[in-house]
Every structure is written in structure tokens, then in C-alpha cells.
Amino acid sequence: MTEQPVRSAPRLDRRRFLQASGVGAAAIAAPAIVSPKALASSGEINIMMWSDYLPDSFRESFTQATGITINFTGIGSNEEIINRMRASRGQGFDIISPTMNRAPQWAEIELLQPLDLSRIPTDKVNPNMLAQGSQIWNLNDKGPSWVPHIWGTEGIAWRTDLWQPEGEFPSYGAVWEDANAGKTMGRGHSMMLGAGLYLERIGELEPGSIWLAYTNEDDMRRVWGRLTEFCISKKPNVRIIWNDADTQKNGLMNEGVIVGQTWDGPPLSLKTAGEPVMYRAPIEGAMAWVDGMSMPIGAENIDQAYAFIEHCYDAEAAGRAIDTHGYNSPVIGAERYANEDYARNFADAYPGDALANLNPWPAELPWYADIRAEYVNRFLAA
């Protein structure tokens, strides 16, 4: 197969991601000010967002502040957002929540409108994260169509009463080990990527293979072909393939899972509730992501959409939501409003040099997403 020429996919390095995330930043948010337009707003807003991002307390505080009712549709994957928007041609929702690294796919389908940043209190959000988002999401040079909302990582969660890693850090390999057969879980495409990082660490893939696969089709097929063979051979060891936060929680608490590759939020929310659950960045490095807010071309409730973004950037509202969803906020000072468990959970999740070892998720060009789907479907169907 001839190598396919592709546009370079931007990839955040670890230092820039840490700057963007605001980790360790000692900034204090200004008092929240709700604009007169937001206060005067009424009616409804239609939001399609990750299933655990809008706890009841946040929705209630938004409605109390603005008089706007949220019609919420929860989703569990970027593919679901893209497929729904394609099917409706960008109609039906006022706010959606794509992940930062999916910008190239949205540029191709042209279903988002640029945001008016003058209507968004951008001074309340981490400036580095906002700037990177604006650069990556200036789709087809029409202006930025994405602002940051929540960030987190994907790593390893486990039942502390049933399993322990051999050292301080667990490994992605724990999901596939014969010793844990029938007691593990993961999400299709990302657990396969985790398996690749594990195979690199133990010398069964060349170092850097997983990131090389993002650059051209030939290397993608070579690396993912090998990866798929390994994952299919170990698939009987995996108990649950998850696609949302609730499935992760249920797997750990009710379905016999002792260790799994998960997002940080679901296991940390269980840990906060006093359950015997731990989440930690693996030795190969946690996968870091940033989910944002965008406005489809068919958005009808424009004033309400900007009022919603403004409320998301209120430090108190964002911080109190952390107690429920367990992720991290880019809003300056939000951590001050989270309960004391947040700092402890963060330290447990990223001990030692774990933050310096993060793997920011690379941008996924359309050809990469399409080919990956072939291999993931082959694994899931095996």
C-alpha cells in the first residue's frame, strides 16, 4: 500500500498540557457575575454532553440563576456526537461537547459555527488551555468553535479490597493479564491503545509505535494489525467493554471487575463516596484529554447557549460539580469550591512524576479514525 500523504496532526506535548490544565496554578477567580442578558433569558436549551458531566445540582443552579430549563441528552463517545450531528445535519442541539483532539474530524464535516468570544467570560478560564483550543478549533479559518469545559485522564482503576498493583503504579497490561481473566474491563479503542503502550514497554512493539501510527496509513495498519492480534488473543480475559461512566461504576461495584482501564471521574467519585476503589495513572502514562463546548450550525437558542457557557465558567458552580463527576475543571479557582477529597484524590491519582508522564491524546485525522474503527470492530466481533 502506498503511504498516504496527510496533513500534520497537532499533538500537545506534556509540558504544554500541564500549562493548559492549570495544574498547580495559584490563581483566584473573580466573583461570578451573571450578565443581564442571561438573567433575562427564559425558555430552554438542548444540550448533548457526556453522560456524567451535568449533575442535578449543576442543572438546578443554572436554572435558578437564569430561568432556563436544560433538556439533556447524555452520550458516551465522540463517535456518537459526530454521528448524531451528521444524521441531523447539525440540527437539534444548542451545545455539544467534543473532545479537543477531534478537531480535524469536525473541520471535515463543517457542522459547527464559530463562537463569539466577546460573549464568553474567557478571563475566568485557564488562558493556555483556551488559547490552544482556539488555535486547534479555528476550523477552516472561520474562527474558534470550541472552548474548554472539563479535563481528565484515562488510566487504571481497581478494587482495593480485591487487587493491588505490584508496585506504586499499575500497568495497562493488567487489563489483559491471564491472572485477572474474567475480571477486567475497558473501552474498545482506548484499551487497545493502552495495550499498545504496554507492548512498547515490554519490548513487543518498537518504542514510539503508537504515536507513529497517527502519522500515515501504512504505519497505522502495521501497528494496529499487530495490536489487534494481541487484543483478540487476550479478549477472553476481558469481562466488560464499557462506553459510558455508569457502566464503569457498575462494573467495579456490581459486575465482578477488579481492575480496568477507565476515565478518572467514575472511580474517583466512587472513592469519594467511600467505596474501596482507587484510580491511578499507569506506569506507561495516563492518556489526557480535554472536553469542550461547541455550538452546532443548527443551534436555535443562542442567548441560552451563551448563558450556559457563562454558568460553566462560574468557579463555584464548576467546583461543586467536581464533587459529583470527579473530573477536573479549567475554570480558575474552581478547585477552591470542591470538597477536601478532591485534592487527596488528585494526589493519589498522580503521585511522583505521573503528571510529567501524561500522554496528551493526539489529534485524530479522519483517515485515522476510519481505519481505527476497522480494527476496533474486528476486535469487538472476535
Domain that holds residue 132: 29-151+289-340
Coil/strand/helix, residue 121 = coil
What's the pLDDT score for residue 132? 79
What residues pair up with 150 in beta bridges, in sequence order? 291
What's the pLDDT score for residue 320? 94
Examine residue 1 and state whether it is found in any structural domain, yes or no.
no
CB 289 within 8 Å of CB 152? yes
User: How many domains is the chain partitioned into structurally?
Assistant: 2
- What angle (nearest 5°) sits at the alpha carbon of residue 31, between those of residues 28 and 35? 135
Nearest Cα to Cα of residue 93 among 60, 46, 135, 59: 46
The mean pLDDT value for 274-303 works out to 97
> Do 118 and 191 belong to one domain?
no
C-alpha cell recorded at residue 187: 473501552
pLDDT over 80 at 41, yes or no: no
Looking at residue 213, which CATH number applies to its domain?
Answer: 3.40.190.10
Give the pLDDT band (50/70/90) at residue 133.
confident
Examine residue 202 and state whether it is found in any structural domain, yes or no.
yes
> Do 270 and 293 belong to one domain?
no
The answer for 188, left when phi > 0, alpha when psi is -120 to 50, beta otherwise, is alpha
Nearest Cα to Cα of residue 105 among 73, 146, 74: 146
Strands 295-296 and 112-113: antiparallel
Examine residue 6 and state whether it is found in any structural domain, yes or no.
no
pLDDT over 70 at 21, yes or no: no
> Do 320 and 174 belong to one domain?
no
Examine residue 348 and state whether it is found in any structural domain, yes or no.
no
pLDDT over 60 at 195, yes or no: yes
State the Cα–Cα distance between residues 371 and 373, nearest whole angstrom: 5
> Do 131 and 242 belong to one domain?
no
- What angle (nearest 5°) sits at the alpha carbon of residue 158, between those of residues 153 and 160? 130
Distance between start and end Cα atoms, the chain: 25
> Do 179 and 87 belong to one domain?
no
> Do 262 and 334 belong to one domain?
no
Q: What is the pLDDT of residues 80-108, one digit of tens each?
A: 999 999 999 999 999 999 999 999 999 99
| CA-to-CA separations, 152 to 1, 71, 262, 264, in angstroms, rounded | 37, 25, 11, 6
What's the pLDDT score for residue 15? 52
The mean pLDDT value for 44-58 works out to 95
Examine residue 349 and state whether it is found in any structural domain, yes or no.
no
Examine residue 2 and state whether it is found in any structural domain, yes or no.
no
Rounded to the nearest angstrom, the gap between the alpha carbon of residue 257 and the centroid of all alpha carbons in its chain is 22
What's the pLDDT score for residue 98? 97
The mean pLDDT value for 119-133 works out to 91
Give the pLDDT band (50/70/90) at residue 19.
low
> Do 234 and 362 belong to one domain?
yes
> Do 156 and 269 belong to one domain?
yes
Record the pTM.
0.86
CB 227 within 8 Å of CB 195? yes
State the Cα–Cα distance between residues 308 and 305, nearest whole angstrom: 5
Angle between helices 315-325 and 302-312 (to 10 degrees): 80
Q: Which residue has the cell 474474567?
A: 182
> Do 252 and 140 belong to one domain?
no
> Do 278 and 372 belong to one domain?
yes
The mean pLDDT value for 267-288 works out to 96
> Do 248 and 377 belong to one domain?
yes
Examine residue 19 and state whether it is found in any structural domain, yes or no.
no
State the Rg of the chain over Cα: 20
> Do 190 and 259 belong to one domain?
yes
What's the pLDDT score for residue 42? 58
